[in-house]
Structure 1
Amino acid sequence: MKNGKKIPLRANKTLLSSVLGKMIVGATLTAAAAHGMAQDASLLEEVVVTGSYAKSLEKAIDIKRTTTGFSDSIVATDIADFPEQNLAEALQRMPGVTIERNKGLGSKVNVRSLPSEFTYVSINNLSTASGSGGRDVEFDIFASEIIQSVTVKKSPTAADEEGGIAGSVLISTARPFDYNDAKFVVSAEGAHNSISEEIDPKVSFLASNTFGDFGALVSVSVAERTNRTDSNSGINFRPLSRWTEKTGSSKWQADQTLAVLERDTGIVIDDRFNKDITNRIVFHDKIGDRAYLNEQEKWGVTAAFQYQPSDTFSLAFDAMLGGYDNTEDEYDAAAYTASSISALETIHDYDSTTLAEHGIVVLRDVSYAATQHEFLSKENVHKTDFTQYSLNMDWELEGWFIEGLVGYSGAEKTSDTSNLKHVAYAPSRSRYTSTGGETVVSANPASFDMYNSPDKYLFDSYEVNLEEIQDDKYAAQLDFIKPLELNAFSALNQVQFGARYTDKSKERNRGTNTVRGPKAGDSSWRNVRTLQDSELTLISDLVPGGAYLSQSSNSPTWSQVSNSYARNTFRYDGFSVDFADSEYYRVDEEVLSLYAMADFKFDVATMPTTINAGVRSVDTSVLSFGYHQVQNSDGSTGYTPTPISKEGNYSDVLPSVNMSMELRDGLLLRAAASETLIRPALGDIAYKRTVSLNDFKYRDGNPDLKPTYADQWELGLEWYVGDGALFAASYFEKKIEGVVRESLTGVVKDVTKYNANGTIDGVYDFEIYQKVNAEGDYDVSGVELIAQFPLNMVHKSLDGFGINANFTMLDNSLTGESDLGIPTPPEGLADETYNLTFYYENATFDARISYNYKDKYVEYISSDMYPVYRKAYGQTDISLGYQVTDAIKVVLEGINITDEETSAYTIDPSFPSMYEFSGRRISLGVRADF
């Protein structure tokens, strides 16, 4: 890729036949049928928009009961009738499913509390592209209203494309022959956010009809969302090595820091270059007050055209298109205490006991010599276009069931992000508070009020980054299923075999342009133009909803530059961003899978027993190319990109077995065992080198990465009591090996590090880090409990009331990636999660209240050393519906009605790193079903 031009995609992509191996009897039962079980025809009419939450739960139970292996499902009403904002939030009510939230919005899905990258996602049997840059799917781009059913499979069969170590999320959209009659559904709502005080519209409809042998269905959803978040955040640990290793003209910073440390704490450091010591004495990296305004426009369309001339042949074309435009304004008043020209001045308070087991001393309250005060106006504009097409064939021919699929899933994501930065260096005092941190005027006469001194802030830069990601996935499959009735071997009920081919490619282009003057190459504004030379707006006017919700004692308010002004002023005529070679990468991956499996049905004593057993062979080849970024050999400032590419491949054989035994009517013993995998993120495979100047690190891609594997088994009891009642308990274990970790793989000596203004910061040894498959294996075990029942089972006076509850508890020996050896679970893994819903409904009225809880989990590892935990979080949502007529229903819904905050901390809650409010959301809608 040169001068911003993309390297062309490979031509003539071959689509071979392949396999998922399932009986597709009806489109919305695709996920349930993926286990290779023949479905009863009566289920075809069950996955429809009924308007009844209790009925939708009954249908989900039917799918669970008839499915081989461990799974849970939700269907149309359950998806669409809760106050969720996207598909991720609709899934959070399923057993073992939780979500990761970003400023009050569900974004990624965790199954059984395992990290999101351990989950495999498909839509209509196609692996799903989302433009995330990794393999994880950004669920916030999907509108829940266009989804008909979702099944989460927790024990795979040989017919599954990938099992996912955590599980597989199988999403289905509707087809016209799913309905007996013509169907038309339309809904509209307006939603109010308590902080932004904006009202957001959402409209959706579904239309379906059949015309003899042909049928057509279209569904559309269009929504807008405006959400404001006020946050005290960015309060991470920074190691004292930031200053203690200074040399040359900057050595005074090391000398003063060490002297102040000894004077105020009594701690003496004999070897200032010993990072094992200096990295365990930490202070605030930055304290920021931030106001976010997030505006989203989302649309989604599904279309299905079906030809079904007989009960033995069906041909269906499915299309799913969507767009997700997300613009986020962030206004940040921050104090960067770890500035390159600063040092300790006075330590007012420190903590040597809380983290003593890790040898860490935290400087809680410190005055600094030259804090870098920053006003940052950031604009993040993301546009994602999603497209998916598939052609499915189901054909019964002379006792064989033949199923075929050809499909494409693609996403294009463009991100335009900018950061206007004004800086003022001066002494200040920063300290922890109960919910975060605050910066105040210090005793030094040169200190000033950082929030209300615009004349002291000098223009530093206006940086614009442009990124494009193209994510393409092609697939073809062919399955053969043969039901058997053998006198010699009556237990063998069915055999199934097939093949699947997938071709995936992910390509990224990225570039940066930094403005420091009124035209290209001009730096006349830098350190001359002040903040007050620009048009300033009070923070309460920059974001709708009024005053900033401060979490610090000094209750700051401030004015700064709006992003619209910044865009109009600093993007001069002719401004553009060219893609940089050093930022380019592309990964191509081809997978050919062959499988065979069999279903056995027989009685053990008087107990009907079903066993599904099979094996899958997977052959994978990877071609990765990008640029290797190294420092200029002539000693000049910068780094030279060198093109580089590499091939990789691996083969696997994955067995699986699933068993169910009906101990007595309604009581099932279920068991499963398998070996499964999840492939590494394509961005980690990309053959490239990037530099992290602040961390003194190079990071290399690794095309030789292999998947993470799991040997897993599960045993459970499921008790189906009458209509709509289920009690279930299961125990599962997973032995996980080949976990992808970042590891130190080398050192580059004597790297010259430059400041933003071109001056030399110093000469350092840069460590090389690379993602590798860690040695050894790790154990994860857990218990999952489900209770779903109408309360009239307890007493007839409770008719209409019901409970839907589930609980997952996890125990694991997995450890995180802290360079200091601090024990921590992997990012995203929570020990306990549960969901609890109480509901009531009759012919005209329904009400639900739901509480979702997720235990604390590691959000990220700051500086690769200090685990930052997202605090345990529980949210309460409600839904009230009134059936005005047989066809029209009015719905009142509330999200986060108790206005819970989200917060985070570094290692221990006494060191908060983030505290933010995203508010509650109340919506009023009307739904018509004809």
Structure 2
Amino acid sequence: MQQNHNLAPLVSARPDEGRVAARLHPSRAPSTTHRTSTVGDIGMNHHIPGRQASGLRTRTLSRSIHLLLAGAMATAPVQLLAQDSAPAQEPATTPDARQLDAIQVTGSYSLSLERAVDLKRDNVGFSDSIVATDVADFPEQNLAEALQRMPGVTIERNKGLGSRVNVRGLPTEFTFVSINNLATASGSGGRDVEFDMFASEIIQSVTVQKSPTAADEEGGIAGSVLIRTARPFDYPSRKVAASAEGAHNSISEEVDPRFSFLASDTWGDFGALVSFSKAERTNRTDSNSGINFRPLSRFLDATGERSDQAAAVLARDAGIVLEDPTDHDVTNRIIFQDKVGDRVYLNEQDKTGATLSLQYKPSNDFSLTFDTLHGSFDTTEDEYDAAAYSASSRSTLDTIHEYDSTTLADYGITVLRDVSYTATQHEFLSKERINETDYQQYSLAMDWTPGDWEVNGLVGFSGAEKTYDYANLKHVAYAPSRTRWTEDGGETIPSAASAGFDMYDSPESYLFEAYETQLEHVDDDKYAAQLDATRHLQLDVLPALSSIQVGARFTDKSKEREYGETKIQGPGEGDISWLNTRTLADSPLQWVTDIVPGGGYVPRDLAWMQVSNDYARDFFRYAGFEVPIDDAQYYRVDEEVTSLYAMLNFDFDLGRVPVFVNAGARAVDTDVMSYGYHQVQNPDGSDGLTAEPVSSDGNYREVLPSLNVQAGLTDNLVLRGAASETLMRPALTDIAYRRSVSWNEFRFMDGNPDLKPTMADQWEAGLEYYLDNGGLLAASYFWKEIEGVVRQELTGIVEDVEKLNANGTLDGYYDFEVYQPVNAEGAYEVSGIELIAQMPLGMLHPVLEGFGFNANYTVLDSTLTGASDLDIPTAPEGLAEKAYNVTLYYENDRFDARVSYNYKDEYVEYIHLNSYPVYRDAYGQTDISIGYRINDVLKVTLEGINVTDEATTGYTLDPSFPLMNEYSGRRVALGVRADF
């Protein structure tokens, strides 16, 4: 039979990597039956170490052979591989005998789906998986976009690119992520992982574990994303594969290259695998956005004429008379527009990833594996911003042309829809953000099965270094303007006042304020060691107890951050000669659509000229300039976690129903040490703040029980249940001693070293029906009670804080609010239903052979609310009530085609000023993939992302108050794949 090596293996050739094999019920199987485990799968639970075969899967082999035969006839060739195996129909009866160890499947998307179904069925808890074909052979731009097609998984998009992952609608920080069983460092500072830095081509499989066992590392209330890279014994023979493509963006009109390569081979007991991926991406996003709510207290809290005029105009034009202008519960419910802007973003990415895996595997009872993962993710984002800041410190109300006291009347909010202001701060901003992330991971795993024991060990390191370099060239013009909401955004036009002007075409009116710079460096390191042992049992006194598993894990995590900022206002250090003397017209100007590639501005018929970031960096950074690091902004957080766990596995028959039970508990001991600086009033009584070094240590201990149950109601129908308690630790950034300041919002943001973990009790029940042709129908109901959610709350006031103007002169003394993350009181419930349908349609009629679909739907209900200081009821940030994915596909031995639609319901993106929930609109995206196999080596692909060119939109509280209107365009890629 001719073999097709087009795709990565869908069933491993290693017996300890999720084999598809017949298994015997423990009451009829001898103690020498071959067992499967690997430390790389501890916590992934494709096969819980010590779990004996049960009648739940006695039909798996026949179904696998059936799908192999169907695949050989209808799609690509396949290979059946048996290593050291006795005939499949003969059970193992001696210590040297082996069952059929693995079935090797290559060649098609439908078979990759069937492999994922096998993994789901074989897992002890609720889970879903994707394997190499599905990860690498669809038009995803990164790993996050590959995961969005899994049940219950949605993603957050940033300017057209998937960046973070939500599981079952919960916020991203509720998800635990690991690669090869090591918690992943990304430099983000939180518990969430920035998936956009990982290339999907270097990933072998991903499992989303939704119900934990005691052996799983704690940290995922929403779920755990368990990523695995490829290893040499995954392949039955030498494997070399390469792919290359070029992708075109419809707005930037640039073509981006992407290349990936993999080579693997084994020599007797040794094997080696290397993979490499490199991708460039140039994406332009046009956005009419940033239209935030701002409470009228911004003007009413000012002293003198600004406050008096605001109150008088409000009474004259809106009929609202304030009894007490300082009552924030009233004035924070009178809203005007903070800033209206037109922005063009150009995001350029350079992403590389490489893996190396070395294996020593002298037998199926022992293996030693060294895995390493290296990569870099460098982005440069240019933002060109023409904006009108209505809430400037010089301005107040001039005329209210239109107000709305009905749309948000339930919250007592009046919105000033159309207003002229006395001195709007018009800004031309050329912003440059350079992010450079280098990440690496090393692990050494041992898998040993001496006799009736399984012993697994792991040591590893995961680290990321991130450097963030920010610059903002700022020119400002103060003048009367009129700002109002439009149907899909906002606009600023000249006011009726005599000093009004055309903000987009008056460069000589804009004075240079500063070239602002920031520099941040983050080191994020994580070390881990784990030892796990399982004893298989056949006890006459308790025959149902099939194994006992115990283990210990130690992790050491640290995050260290350095930060500095400064303003350049002249051609030398300390020089301010450019301030208020240099104008925007003194710099070379270009049309913004000439600075960035592509055509005209998409949201509306508008054009303006700005200074390019290339010129700004070259001209304004004088010789010898460096951003000074501020010692007072330094912090470091260390966290050490020791975990001990034990599990009992039971296999027995309840009548004629085979039942499997996994019960266990995990004891967790966490030590936290936080170092940093705390800013306080000068001890000598003088004006200003001073930074004092501080440190704090803390400890918390928890015991986390878990229970997972399976019952094979029929050969095809599985009843599954799970219950557990789990936790999510607070973000290291929130624990750190730190104080940042927002001068415009008159607010300090502090860390809180006393934060405790967020806890959750959860259970789930579901039915899964496995079709003989590899299809799946499944439904489950899940419920979570969550307490100790971390929220930002007002915890104090700092009085008489000195605030300076851009030129260093005194602006005034103000009372600043202090906000800190705290563990909110009370418990909240999240529940939902998850439906899955995966079906090859050839089972319905021969004419449909090769057609199929894969669909899932998740609906949520939650009593969890967001934190609004105005008590506005809102869902928690990131939680979408509905999400669904549908993929239709067709394939034969030469041609394949897929179309996929992903939908995520609206959700709260953030709560502005801790008061006003900002919503991201519901979003649906259509992607396509078409492939044609030229011969046994070459395949040509055509792929499209967001082919209907959907825009990303959002609003504050009600759609009639749009917040943003962003266009990132569609991407079309043409590629070629070669397998040898």
Report if TM-score (shorter chain) is over 0.5.
yes
2:331 alignment counterpart: 278
Alignment of structure 1 residues 125-524 onto 2, 5 Å: 125-162=181-218, 164-247=220-303, 251-524=304-577
Describe the SS at the equivalent of 1:664.
Answer: coil
Q: Is residue 2:126 matched to residue 1:70? A: yes
Question: Within 2, Cα distance between the matches of 1:44 and 1:298?
Answer: 37
Question: Within 1, Cα distance between the matches of 2:289 and 2:103?
Answer: 48
Picking from 134, 146, 169, the partner of 1:113 is: 169
Kept in 2, the 8 Å contact 1:613–1:658? The answer is: yes
Kept in 1, the 8 Å contact 2:379–2:434? The answer is: yes
Kept in 1, the 8 Å contact 2:908–2:919? The answer is: yes
1:858 alignment counterpart: 908
Kept in 2, the 8 Å contact 1:459–1:528? The answer is: yes
How far off is 1:118 after superposition?
0.3
1:33 alignment counterpart: 46
Question: Within 1, Cα distance between the matches of 2:264 and 2:204?
Answer: 13
How far off is 1:168 after superposition?
0.2
Describe the SS at the equivalent of 1:411.
Answer: strand
1:760 alignment counterpart: 810
Alignment of structure 1 residues 673-822 onto 2, 5 Å: 673-822=723-872
Question: Within 2, Cα distance between the matches of 1:46 and 1:505?
Answer: 42
Question: Within 1, Cα distance between the matches of 2:892 and 2:313?
Answer: 71
Kept in 2, the 8 Å contact 1:47–1:75? The answer is: no
Instruction: Return the letter of the residue paired with 1:444.
Output: A
How far off is 1:45 after superposition?
4.8
Q: In structure 2, do the counterparts of structure 1 residues 796 and 254 end up closer, same or farther at CA, with 3 Å as the change threshold?
A: same
Question: Within 2, Cα distance between the matches of 1:819 and 1:761?
Answer: 28
1:100 alignment counterpart: 156
Kept in 2, the 8 Å contact 1:892–1:924? The answer is: yes
Q: In structure 2, do the counterparts of structure 1 residues 774 and 797 end up closer, same or farther at CA, with 3 Å as the change threshold?
A: same
Instruction: Return the letter of the residue paired with 2:338.
Output: D
How far off is 1:929 after superposition?
1.3
Describe the SS at the equivalent of 2:449.
Answer: strand
Q: Is residue 2:945 matched to residue 1:895? A: yes
Unaligned runs of 5+ in 1: 1-21
Question: Within 1, Cα distance between the matches of 2:809 and 2:712?
Answer: 75
The C-alpha deviation readout for 1:353-401, integer Å capped at 9, x for no partner, is 0000111111101111000000000000000001000000011123211
1:668 alignment counterpart: 718
Segment of structure 1 superposing worse, 181-190 or 629-638 = 629-638
How far off is 1:637 after superposition?
6.3
Instruction: Return the letter of the residue paired with 1:549.
Output: V
Instruction: Return the letter of the residue paired with 2:709.
Output: M
Instruction: Return the letter of the residue paired with 1:118.
Output: F
Q: In structure 2, do the counterparts of structure 1 residues 929 and 844 end up closer, same or farther at CA, with 3 Å as the change threshold?
A: same
Question: Within 2, Cα distance between the matches of 1:695 and 1:418?
Answer: 21
Kept in 1, the 8 Å contact 2:773–2:843? The answer is: no
Kept in 1, the 8 Å contact 2:803–2:813? The answer is: yes
Describe the SS at the equivalent of 2:230.
Answer: coil
Q: Is residue 2:132 matched to residue 1:82? A: no
How far off is 1:163 after superposition?
5.0
Kept in 2, the 8 Å contact 1:37–1:67? The answer is: no
2:25 alignment counterpart: none
2:690 alignment counterpart: 640
Picking from 617, 634, 648, the partner of 1:584 is: 634
Q: In structure 2, do the counterparts of structure 1 residues 43 and 785 end up closer, same or farther at CA, with 3 Å as the change threshold?
A: farther
Question: Within 2, Cα distance between the matches of 1:743 and 1:548?
Answer: 40
- Spell out structure 1 runs of 4+ moving beyond 4 A: 25-30, 37-48, 633-638
1:612 alignment counterpart: 662
1:598 alignment counterpart: 648
Q: In structure 2, do the counterparts of structure 1 residues 876 and 605 end up closer, same or farther at CA, with 3 Å as the change threshold?
A: same
Q: In structure 2, do the counterparts of structure 1 residues 542 and 127 end up closer, same or farther at CA, with 3 Å as the change threshold?
A: same
Question: Within 2, Cα distance between the matches of 1:854 and 1:231?
Answer: 21
How far off is 1:760 after superposition?
3.3
Question: Within 1, Cα distance between the matches of 2:334 and 2:262?
Answer: 60
Instruction: Return the letter of the residue paired with 1:433.
Output: T
Question: Within 2, Cα distance between the matches of 1:45 and 1:518?
Answer: 70
How far off is 1:25 after superposition?
4.4
How far off is 1:724 after superposition?
1.9
Q: In structure 2, do the counterparts of structure 1 residues 34 and 333 end up closer, same or farther at CA, with 3 Å as the change threshold?
A: farther
Question: Within 1, Cα distance between the matches of 2:479 and 2:726?
Answer: 56
The C-alpha deviation readout for 1:244-298, integer Å capped at 9, x for no partner, is 0112xxx111111111111111011121111011110010100000000000000
Kept in 2, the 8 Å contact 1:637–1:758? The answer is: no
The C-alpha deviation readout for 1:647-676, integer Å capped at 9, x for no partner, is 011000000000000001110000000000
Question: Within 1, Cα distance between the matches of 2:596 and 2:873?
Answer: 40
Q: In structure 2, do the counterparts of structure 1 residues 245 and 31 end up closer, same or farther at CA, with 3 Å as the change threshold?
A: same
Kept in 1, the 8 Å contact 2:579–2:807? The answer is: no
Q: In structure 2, do the counterparts of structure 1 residues 394 and 239 end up closer, same or farther at CA, with 3 Å as the change threshold?
A: same
1:912 alignment counterpart: 962
2:582 alignment counterpart: 529
Describe the SS at the equivalent of 1:242.
Answer: helix
Q: In structure 2, do the counterparts of structure 1 residues 603 and 60 end up closer, same or farther at CA, with 3 Å as the change threshold?
A: same
Describe the SS at the equivalent of 2:173.
Answer: helix
How far off is 1:634 after superposition?
5.6
Q: Is residue 2:603 matched to residue 1:550? A: yes
Describe the SS at the equivalent of 1:259.
Answer: helix
Q: In structure 2, do the counterparts of structure 1 residues 30 and 496 end up closer, same or farther at CA, with 3 Å as the change threshold?
A: closer
Q: TM-score, length-normalised on structure 2?
A: 0.91
Q: TM-score, length-normalised on structure 1?
A: 0.95
Identical columns (%): 67
Q: In structure 2, do the counterparts of structure 1 residues 856 and 46 end up closer, same or farther at CA, with 3 Å as the change threshold?
A: farther
How far off is 1:636 after superposition?
6.1
Kept in 1, the 8 Å contact 2:50–2:546? The answer is: no
Kept in 1, the 8 Å contact 2:840–2:853? The answer is: yes
Question: Within 1, Cα distance between the matches of 2:189 and 2:886?
Answer: 34
Kept in 1, the 8 Å contact 2:50–2:454? The answer is: no
Question: Within 1, Cα distance between the matches of 2:39 and 2:548?
Answer: 20
Kept in 1, the 8 Å contact 2:42–2:181? The answer is: no
Question: Within 1, Cα distance between the matches of 2:123 and 2:219?
Answer: 15
The C-alpha deviation readout for 1:3-37, integer Å capped at 9, x for no partner, is xxxxxxxxxxxxxxxxxxx9534968983436446
Describe the SS at the equivalent of 1:817.
Answer: coil
Unaligned runs of 5+ in 2: 1-34, 54-82, 84-98
Kept in 2, the 8 Å contact 1:731–1:784? The answer is: yes
